[in-house]
A and B are shown apart, each in its own frame.
Chain A
Amino acid sequence: MTRVTQHALFWPATTLALLLVVSAIFNPAFLSIAWRDGHLYGNLVDILNRAAPLMVVSLGMTLVIAVRGLDISVGAVVAIAAAVAALMIGGSFSASGNAASEHPLWMALGTALAAAAACGLWNGLLVVKAGMQPIVATLILMVAGRGIAQLLTGGQIITVYYPPFFTLGNGYLLGVPVALWIAVALWGVLHLALARTALGLFIRAIGGNPEAARVAGIRAASITLCVYTFCGLAAGVAGLIISSNVKSADANNAGQLLELDAILAVTLGGTALTGGRFTLAGTVIGALIIQTLTSMIYSLGVPPEVNLVVKAALVFAVMLLQSAEFRGLVLRVARSARA
């Protein structure tokens, strides 16, 4: 039994299961999945679909946090990627619904992702080469990045009329949302890269002690740089999914507060903010917890205003559970109560 509770994924998975059980008790239809209009349909599918962008961003964030970093610019990068893609596709409304794209779709998506990766690289350079604290280095892009996205879109919401672009955020492949395929594919690739090569070990070593890792012959600087670039790229992918889902790019609001949700998902999943210990599966569960909580609050008919308060209570609870000092205090209180 103790071996089960000590597993890294025990607490995150229990939290998620509890949330689902509570939802199912209050609304028995919550867990039902049906086949409708040629794809899977139901609350659970909806949660997975809506959690996909957060999952993608959080996977990137996990690696950054694992090397003792933090990236608070992901929300701004989401806005930049969405703006670039919308501008490249351009075009205007046509009654036939067959609006053309100004540039080929692959080029628009590629440019958006390249811009996002460049943002990540910039963050990485500030952290690795200039030696800034990660939170400060990424604060710069967080502030300026949203300004750049607004500059690109002229402060307007750019609507996209090109149907193939909508597939990313609204389409289905084999009955499963395309966004979910993307998130799962990214997770799979990352898992293989980290578990089957020495990269995962290197990242743990850098997070555990950067100096020791460097002395041991790990190229800490270039790996950290790659991790930040990947986090930017992941934010770009999320930006494409989000803008495709709402069929527009909104530089003011796209990805607003996403950095906080992503850090929250990573923490809820059991990755240590101090670096060195990370779990990709935990992060995915963390993202699902956040989305389940939101969906649950809506489906239970609780006023959405309560959402933030519940979220806060959840963060406090998880934070305290992860603190060795708090567990020690609880044990002491329990022991003195027994005595």
Chain B
Amino acid sequence: MNWRMNRRLLPLGITILLFVGMAAFGAIRYDGFLSPQVFLNLLIDNAFLCVVAVGMTFVILSGGIDLSVGAVIALTTMISAALLDAGWNPYAAIGLVLVLGAAFGALQGLLIQQFNLAPFIVTLAGMFLARGCCYLISTESIPINDPTYAAIAQARIPVGFDSSLTIGALIALAVVLAAMRVAHATEFGRTVYAIGGGESSARLMGLSVASTKVGVYLLSGLCAALGGVVMTFYMLSGYSLHAVGLELDAIAAVVIGGTLLSGGVGYVAGTLFGVLILGIIQTLIAFDGTLSSWWTKIVVGVLLLLFCLLQRLFEGRTRKAA
């Protein structure tokens, strides 16, 4: 039993090892890399990606996919900026965009569940819709001058060692912790794993498959909206071209984090490290200074390949063992 548990944890272990290895490489190669702030910046600069990737983890665990998250983030920044421009209370604006994000996700979930449609196509149409709504609000970038937002954006919470975190990074950490609890200690979380493992078996077990599937997309929409709020703090503007292609980064982070794209296997904690690995690749390239930005894409592609091959190997072995 214990040995089987270790096997399930193997991809997570490899992800963490990879992160430590890359950090060690950076520390040896570049001066000033090994400072607490460099590592905290990984979280600060990727806070919105982290929040979105956590939502994506649940979708992928259930065997689905959500391509709309990048567009929902952009729409969130747009609506927030437009509402603040119209003189709304910032907290009311945040509340409204979170509700809208959750409703958008739930609607996609309902279509997928009720009409048995492919998640890929439904969320693709959702992506067009959300991105299109951004353009309807404005094609220009809307700056945010609200004092509350500016104060939140500039706030730094000291964590010792001369380093600090932003509110956005704290939100990301809180989301990861909450999601770990939801995934492993609630009925919803266990049902998500069961659906990913086999939908018809989950149904035969009497689990509430329909409501959980809708719930998964609702959660992803909510996370995307929250990611959008965090991005609004980070960018202090609303723009329809924010977060283009972010859904791919989120999927990549989830896969590198050791979650199987076929569903049923994976950990939220892995996703956190997946996001940190994507962040550290960019930091390494920035520290190097001679490498161009496209190396990020090539390295991420190679990592995806390695992880997928590893997972296939891992799957093949467990099947033989079973």
Q: Which positions in A face B, CB cutoff 8 Å?
A: 70, 126, 130-133, 135-137, 139-148, 150-151, 154-155, 260, 263-264, 267, 273-274, 304-313, 315-316, 319-320, 323-326, 329
Report chain B residues within 8 Å CB of A136: 255, 261, 304, 308
Q: Mark B300-322, 1 if CB is under 8 A from A, else 0.
A: 11101100110010000000000
Q: Which residue of A lies closest to B67 (CB)?
A: A260
Q: Report whether A139 and B248 are in contact in the complex, using a CB–CB cutoff of 8 Å.
A: yes
Q: Report whether A325 and B135 are in contact in the complex, using a CB–CB cutoff of 8 Å.
A: no
Report which of A140, A155, A263, A304 forms a contact with B305, defined as CB distance below 8 A.
A140
Report chain A residues within 8 Å CB of B114: 325
Q: Which residue of A lies closest to B295 (CB)?
A: A147
B163 CB-CB contact with A under 8 Å:
no
B122 CB-CB contact with A under 8 Å:
yes
Best-buried of B120, B124, B139, B297 by chain A (most CB within 10 Å): B297
Q: Report whether B115 and A325 are in contact in the complex, using a CB–CB cutoff of 8 Å.
A: yes
Q: Report whether A311 and B128 are in contact in the complex, using a CB–CB cutoff of 8 Å.
A: yes
Q: Which residue of B lies closest to A315 (CB)?
A: B125
* Also in contact, A155 and B115, with CB within 8 A (given A140-B304, A150-B297, A309-B136): no
Report which of A131, A154, A309, A319 forms a contact with B117, defined as CB distance below 8 A.
A319
Report chain B residues within 8 Å CB of A319: 111, 115, 117, 121-122, 125
Q: Considering the chains assembled together, what is the distance between the CA atoms of A267 and B121 in angstroms?
A: 9
Q: Which residue of A lies closest to B131 (CB)?
A: A308
Interface CB pairs A-B, < 8 A, 25: A132-B308, A133-B262, A136-B255, A136-B261, A139-B251, A139-B304, A143-B304, A144-B297, A146-B297, A147-B295, A147-B300, A150-B292, A260-B124, A273-B118, A273-B120, A306-B135, A308-B129, A309-B128, A309-B129, A309-B133, A315-B121, A320-B117, A323-B116, A324-B116, A325-B114
Q: Which positions in B face A, CB cutoff 8 Å?
A: 65, 111, 114-118, 120-122, 124-129, 131-133, 135-136, 139, 248, 251-252, 255, 261-262, 292-298, 300-302, 304-305, 308-309, 312
Report chain A residues within 8 Å CB of B117: 319-320, 323
Report chain B residues within 8 Å CB of A155: 292-294
Q: B210 to nearest A CB, angstroms?
A: 12
Q: Report whether B296 and A147 are in contact in the complex, using a CB–CB cutoff of 8 Å.
A: yes
Q: Report whether A130 and B121 are in contact in the complex, using a CB–CB cutoff of 8 Å.
A: no
Report chain B residues within 8 Å CB of A139: 248, 251-252, 255, 304
Q: Report whether A308 and B312 are in contact in the complex, using a CB–CB cutoff of 8 Å.
A: no
Q: Report whether B301 and A315 are in contact in the complex, using a CB–CB cutoff of 8 Å.
A: no
Q: Report whether A137 and B308 are in contact in the complex, using a CB–CB cutoff of 8 Å.
A: yes
Report chain A residues within 8 Å CB of B300: 143-144, 147
Q: Give 12 new A-B contacts, CB below 8 A, not counting A144-B298, A315-B125.
A: A130-B309, A132-B312, A135-B120, A140-B304, A146-B294, A148-B294, A308-B132, A311-B128, A311-B132, A312-B129, A315-B121, A319-B115
Q: Report whether A147 and B132 are in contact in the complex, using a CB–CB cutoff of 8 Å.
A: no
Q: Which residue of B lies closest to A133 (CB)?
A: B261
Q: Considering the chains assembled together, what is the distance between the CA atoms of A141 and B248 in angstroms?
A: 12
Q: Report whether B139 and A305 are in contact in the complex, using a CB–CB cutoff of 8 Å.
A: yes
Q: Which residue of A lies closest to B240 (CB)?
A: A305
How many residue pairs, one in A and one in B, have C-beta atoms under 8 Å apart? 131
Q: Considering the chains assembled together, what is the distance between the CA atoms of A145 and B300 in angstroms?
A: 11
* Also in contact, A147 and B301, with CB within 8 A (given A267-B121, A305-B135): yes
Q: Considering the chains assembled together, what is the distance between the CA atoms of A304 and B139 in angstroms?
A: 10
Report chain B residues within 8 Å CB of A306: 132, 135-136
Report chain A residues within 8 Å CB of B139: 305
Report chain A residues within 8 Å CB of B135: 304-306, 308-309
List the 8 shortest-distance A-B pairs measured between CB atoms, nearest first.
Answer: A144-B301, A147-B297, A308-B132, A305-B135, A309-B132, A312-B129, A150-B294, A312-B128
Q: Report whether B120 and A70 are in contact in the complex, using a CB–CB cutoff of 8 Å.
A: yes
Q: Considering the chains assembled together, what is the distance between the CA atoms of A144 and B304 in angstroms?
A: 9
Q: Which residue of B lies closest to A310 (CB)?
A: B132
Report chain A residues within 8 Å CB of B296: 147
Q: Report whether B294 and A312 are in contact in the complex, using a CB–CB cutoff of 8 Å.
A: no
Q: Considering the chains assembled together, what is the distance between the CA atoms of A252 and B297 in angstroms?
A: 12
Q: Considering the chains assembled together, what is the distance between the CA atoms of A154 and B302 in angstroms?
A: 20
Q: B93 to nearest A CB, angstroms?
A: 22
Q: Considering the chains assembled together, what is the distance between the CA atoms of A146 and B302 in angstroms?
A: 13
Q: Considering the chains assembled together, what is the distance between the CA atoms of A182 and B322 in angstroms?
A: 52
Q: Which residue of A lies closest to B132 (CB)?
A: A308
Report which of B120, B125, B252 forms a contact with A143, defined as CB distance below 8 A.
B252
Q: Report whether B136 and A305 are in contact in the complex, using a CB–CB cutoff of 8 Å.
A: yes
Q: Report whether B312 and A263 are in contact in the complex, using a CB–CB cutoff of 8 Å.
A: no
Report which of A130, A146, A150, A264 forms a contact with B308, defined as CB distance below 8 A.
A130
Report which of B121, B294, B308 forms a contact with A273, defined as CB distance below 8 A.
B121
Q: Considering the chains assembled together, what is the distance between the CA atoms of A316 and B308 in angstroms?
A: 32
Q: Report whether B302 and A144 are in contact in the complex, using a CB–CB cutoff of 8 Å.
A: yes
Q: Considering the chains assembled together, what is the distance between the CA atoms of A320 and B297 in angstroms?
A: 36
Report chain A residues within 8 Å CB of B262: 133
Q: B92 to nearest A CB, angstroms?
A: 26
Report chain A residues within 8 Å CB of B252: 139, 143
Q: B289 to nearest A CB, angstroms?
A: 16
Q: Report whether A143 and B129 are in contact in the complex, using a CB–CB cutoff of 8 Å.
A: no
Q: Considering the chains assembled together, what is the distance between the CA atoms of A137 and B305 in angstroms?
A: 8
Q: B228 to nearest A CB, angstroms?
A: 18
Q: Which residue of A lies closest to B139 (CB)?
A: A305
Q: Considering the chains assembled together, what is the distance between the CA atoms of A143 and B281 in angstroms?
A: 14
Q: Which residue of A lies closest to B122 (CB)?
A: A319
Report chain A residues within 8 Å CB of B298: 144, 147-148, 151
Report chain B residues within 8 Å CB of A147: 294-298, 300-301
Q: A241 to nearest B CB, angstroms?
A: 24
Best-buried of B295, B301, B312 by chain A (most CB within 10 Å): B301
Q: Considering the chains assembled together, what is the distance between the CA atoms of A267 and B117 in angstroms?
A: 12
Q: Which residue of B lies closest to A307 (CB)?
A: B132
Q: Report whether B297 and A305 are in contact in the complex, using a CB–CB cutoff of 8 Å.
A: no
Best-buried of A139, A140, A310 by chain B (most CB within 10 Å): A140
